[in-house]
Each structure stands twice: as structure tokens, then as C-alpha cells.
């Protein structure tokens, strides 16, 4: 039987450390069979790789990669709480995109997270989703993602 840990190794993906909360919250919490993550920014080694709005300072292609980074940070939060191998399926992704005026490509940006979940979890990675454009995100991040999984 293959585990999600093995699948990550097959893909050459290593989960990062859990990002430290920026305020009064925890990275993930469990209620019954559900684990909910707090919004995850695209931190790499504790720093944002870019700031600004998508469609202005940040290209949609870059933002799509940042969405994938956000989902890895979300999976790290789940892993730290319950272990990634306890995931039965991905339930929902909510993505927020700091959007320049007139930018309407939020779904394409959040595909960075959705496609990576599909690569890792296959059919169990298919999920409901929202992709929302916002004026600003914490500390100037271009993308923020929340994840809900069933364990």
C-alpha cells in the first residue's frame, strides 16, 4: 500500500517546516474527521519570495507557482497536526489572490494549488474550490490559500 509520504518522495517533494503564525491563531485545527488550515502564504524559508498584486508586480505565472508553495505550506500544517498519511481526501481549497485592478485570472492562479494536489493525491485530491480576488493580503503577499481535508 502506497502512502502519501511515499508519493511525495516519488515526486521529489519535501514538505517545508510549518510557517509560524503572524497573529493569534494556529496553523491547523481538527474538528471530527476534518482538518482546517489557516490561510497559508507562499513562505519559503520564512520569507515571501515576492510581494505585490497579481497582474501588476507579480505575473500570473509566478503567482501560480506561489499558490503551489502555499499548498505545500498547508500540507505541512496538516502533517504537523495529524500526519499527512492520515489524509483520506482533499475536500476544499479556498484561494485568495491580491489582484491588480482589472485582473480576472484568479482561477488560473489557484490552479497552481489544485494541480499539485491532483499530482500528489490523484482522485482523492479532487476538491471543491473558490478563487477570490482581493485588494490586499497580509504583509503584501500575492496569494493566500486555505485547505480542508478529511482524515
Give the CATH number of the domain where residue 106 resides: 3.30.1330.40
- Residue 144 is assigned to a structural domain of this protein: yes
* Residue 130 per-residue DSSP state: E
- Residue 40 is assigned to a structural domain of this protein: yes
pLDDT at residue 117, as a whole number:
98
How far apart CA 145 and CA 69 sit, in angstroms, is 10
Q: Which domain holds residue 46?
A: 4-16+33-150
Each of the 151 residues of the chain gets a pLDDT tens digit; together they read 469 999 999 999 999 999 888 889 999 999 999 999 999 999 999 999 999 999 999 999 999 999 999 999 999 999 999 999 999 999 999 999 999 999 999 999 999 999 999 999 999 999 999 999 999 999 999 999 999 999 9
Amino acid at each position: 500500500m502506497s502512502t502519501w509520504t511515499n508519493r511525495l518522495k516519488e515526486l521529489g517533494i519535501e514538505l517545508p517546516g510549518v510557517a509560524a503564525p503572524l497573529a493569534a491563531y494556529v496553523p491547523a485545527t481538527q474538528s471530527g474527521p476534518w482538518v482546517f488550515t489557516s490561510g497559508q502564504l507562499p513562505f519559503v524559508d520564512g520569507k515571501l519570495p515576492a510581494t505585490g498584486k497579481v497582474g501588476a508586480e507579480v505575473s500570473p505565472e509566478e503567482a501560480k507557482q506561489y499558490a503551489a508553495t502555499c499548498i505545500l505550506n498547508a500540507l505541512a500544517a496538516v502533517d504537523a497536526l495529524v500526519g499527512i498519511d492520515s489524509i483520506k481526501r482533499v475536500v476544499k481549497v479556498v484561494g485568495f489572490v491580491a489582484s491588480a485592478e482589472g485582473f480576472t485570472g484568479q482561477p488560473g492562479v489557484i490552479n497552481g494549488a489544485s494541480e499539485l494536489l491532483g499530482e500528489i493525491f490523484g482522485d482523492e485530491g479532487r476538491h471543491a474550490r473558490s478563487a477570490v480576488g482581493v485588494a490586499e493580503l497580509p504583509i503584501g503577499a500575492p496569494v493566500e490559500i486555505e485547505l480542508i481535508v478529511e482524515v
